[in-house]
Amino acid sequence: MSSLKRLDTRRTPPGVIDEADMYTYVLSIFESSSVKVDYKFIVAVLIEYIRSLSQHGIPVLYVVYEQLIKTLVGNKCFYQLHQFLQYHVLNDSKQLACLLLSIQGEYSPAYQLALDMLKRLQTADAEIFEVLISKAQLLQALRFARSIGKEDSISARQFLEAAAGTQDNMLFYTVFKFFEDRNMRLRRRPEFATGEHCQQYVKLFYSLYSEVRNSQRLL
C-alpha cells in the first residue's frame, strides 16, 4: 500500500491539449494534399468536435468552422451547410458571416444567410450597411437604417455615390428624394449641407430631371 501511495505522489500530471494544438496537430492534417481522407469522415469528425466543445461551454475556434465550411463547399454539400447554419450548429460571428459572403458565388443563398447572421449579432450594423450597399441593395439598406433608428445619421454621400454607380436612374431618384426629405425634416430646407459633399450628385440629379428644377423655380 505504501509503495502505491509513493507511486501516486510521483505521477506526472496529465497534459492539456488546447484547441490550437488540436487544430495544428490533428485537424489541419485533413487539409494536406498528401493525405487522402473521405470528406464525409472529415465532416463527421469536425461536427463531433464542435459538439463536444459546445457541450462543455468551450468557444469553438473560427478556423474549425472555416475548415468545415470549406470542406462542405468543396464537395458541393450545400444542403448540409444550410442545415448546419439554420439550426445554429455553427455559432454566429462576423468572421463567419464574411466567410459566407465569400462563397456566395458558389452558393447564392449564402448571401442571405450571412445577412441574417449579422442581424442576429445586433452589433454589426456597419457591416450590414456595407454588405447591402456593395450589392446595390440601397432601398433595403435605407429600410434597415429606419428600422434601427439610424436614418438621420447615415451618410447621404455614400448612398448617392452607390446609387449613381448603378446607372439606374429610378433608383438614384428614389435615394436622392429620401435624403432630400430628410433634409426637410431635419433643417426645413431640401438643400444638402456643405459638409455632406453632395454637390456633384445634386448636379447629376438636376441634369437627369431638369423638369424638377423648373417646377421648383415656378414655385
- Residue 84 inside a domain? The answer is yes
Tell me the pLDDT tens digit for each residue of 20-67. 878 888 888 888 767 788 999 999 999 999 999 999 899 999 999 999
Identify the domain boundary among 123, 157, 173: 123
CA distance 70 to 118: 20
- Residue 42 inside a domain? The answer is yes
- Residue 172 inside a domain? The answer is yes
pLDDT score of 3 more than 60: no
Residue 188, sorted as left (phi over 0), alpha (psi -120 to 50) or beta, turns out to be left
CA distance 91 to 25: 24
pLDDT of 117:
92
Once rounded to an integer, what is the mean pLDDT over residues 144-167? 93
Tell me the pLDDT tens digit for each residue of 175-196. 999 999 999 999 999 999 999 9
pLDDT score of 197 more than 90: yes
Once rounded to an integer, what is the mean pLDDT over residues 151-173? 94
pTM of the predicted model as reported, rounded to 2 decimal places = 0.70
Identify the domain boundary among 69, 98, 123: 123
Structurally, how many domains does the chain consist of?
2
Phi/psi of residue 168, nearest 5 degrees: -100, 100
